[in-house]
Structure 1
Amino acid sequence: MTLVAVMDIASGPGAGLLALVSLGPAFSGLVGGWRRTAVVGACALALCVGLGFYNGLFVQKRGFSAMASVAGVTVAGLVAARMRQRREAELAGVRTIAEVAQRVLLRPVPKYAGPLRIAVSYTSAVADARIGGDLYEVVASRHGVRAIIGDVQGKGLDAVETAAVVLGAFREAAYDEPDLTAVGERLERALARHLSGEMFVTAVLAEAAGPSITLLNYGHPAPLRVRPDGTVDYLVPPERALPLGLAAHGAEPPVGHTSDFAPGDQILFYTDGVAEARDDAGRFYPLDHRAFLLKDPDPEIALDAIRRDLAEHLQGPGHDDAAMLLLRYRTPGPPAASG
């Protein structure tokens, strides 16, 4: 408005710049509150009156039309600011509910469970989203430390509801069932009761007991094992199996397979948002070649290094949610000195 006033005074009454003073309340209604818009509108109207008298425009209709323009834009800015503030308040309420839903759905996993140290990372593909279709959980039971990571087909509320069904069933079954196969069967039954159509969930179930880990893979990307000497390998299941929720198709359930999981080892579980992440040239993220980023003694810092490297590889937001779960077998500390 100051710039318009200076230009109007410098150019004279013939330039017809007076109506541009209404840009002040127009922009104020887009970025400020209604009170600020009202103050800016009043200032714009006062400036319009002052410049109109200075230029002698009130002897013509031009001065009154300029005042009407400023007043009209101010009223429109007030309405826009009020509506925007109401929408922002509603959005804040929805985000609060989403944060509560996330705490219920994706509860913080324990940092320590038995001999394991644990870290998780979750990145949503939707800006400002709190929850999505990826899921994870870790449960310390009398049968060992049991974990799940999964990816629900699709997005939106249906995916969130399906993830809630899987996690609820897993949290109960992980404590009750004596073996991992029975846990998977409980998940299948829970999905059969709640799912409709062709919804499915790819998932890996894990049970760490002693210096070994048993995996049950339902069509999910194979976890990556990193040895203390830096060697890496994928824990590929002996046979491919259909995802959870497709048992009605008559396919054989997955066969559990056991692998070494010794002190110093770490296993990284992840979802399609990591496995299928591509850069602008269409190259997949080379997770096995980035395993050296997990060298930090703190598993959370190590996992954050992978997350940041993945974001750099994508050079922008990903097209799918990306969840990662890191299980690290703690190396025994030195024996206590005898007194």
Structure 2
Amino acid sequence: MKAEISTAWDKVEAMINGFIILLPNIVLAIIVFAIFFYVARTIKQVVRRLTRNRRHARNLGMVLGRLAQGITVLVGLFISLTIVIPTLRAGDLVQLLGISGVAFGFAFRDILQNFLAGILILLTEPFQINDQIVFNNFEGTVENIETRATTIKTYDGRRIVIPNSELFTNSVQVNTAFDNRRIEYDIGIGYGDDVNLAKKLMLEAIHSVDDVLKDPAPDVLLVELAESSINIRARWWINPPRRIDYLVSRDKVISAILQKVYVENGIDLPYPTRQILFHDQTEETDGDRSRQREGWPAGSCEVPKPRRLSDALWKLAQMRSERNGNQIFNDISSNSNK
């Protein structure tokens, strides 16, 4: 019993002696770690101050500051461990960090991907807070850019949360990236109307709207000869380029064109017109393209005249009448022969 107590006491004494021997190293490690911790806080504040002047990037300084602080604290922890445990080499720590980093990366791949994408978005600023963007089927105003996701508020009052990795790897349309924005609208006139006069009236109507910029100047272009109308495209610029300004300016310009072109000057606003051609196809002419009327017969240089529906119905009635008359005549002839 005394031997066991003696052995236990020897072990306790060895532990105490080892702790006393390591005590200077522990104190030094704590001091070194405290210095690194203080330096990390200072770096965080410096980074936040340097990024404070970046317009609309209120989260950038906080994210980069925390990242710099974390890296500095981690380096201080490694140095402190090597002071306390002299046999622990930096290579072992790096190797351990690499193995654990790979496992951590596989486990939190999506989170890390969104985090890195968020940092890159905050650094490069392809869009900023209060910008109006279009992403896939979502359109609205950017509310916040965080390290994991970006939130936008749609024009009908909904909040959409989009992961940063999707925003960074896909196309995003930024409607408010520049000061000016161009609007265009296609307007149809009749084929019998004067195109030059219509274009002149449209330009006058556009210039009469106060919201339209004089520079760049608005213009009107003939863009299409459609089935029922001649389409002219009106184009003009506005500032600011936000959604509400876009809608208001479009409303004013279209109303001015409607009043100036169609109401005051009587330019035709054509309705869609379709022409129906009957295809003369019977069993007798089936497969004979030279005898079928579809637009006009193949191989014929003469364009056939279009027939009215009433003429076709009248011809059909005549054919039925003749068929009935022939049937009656055949019946009478067969009865007389009997």
Task: Please classify the TM superposition score into its range, dividing by the shorter chain length.
Answer: under 0.3
Q: Which has the higher strand share?
A: 1
TM-score with structure 2 length normalisation? 0.24
User: Greater RCO between the two (CA within 8 Å, min separation 6)?
Assistant: 1
TM-score with structure 1 length normalisation? 0.24
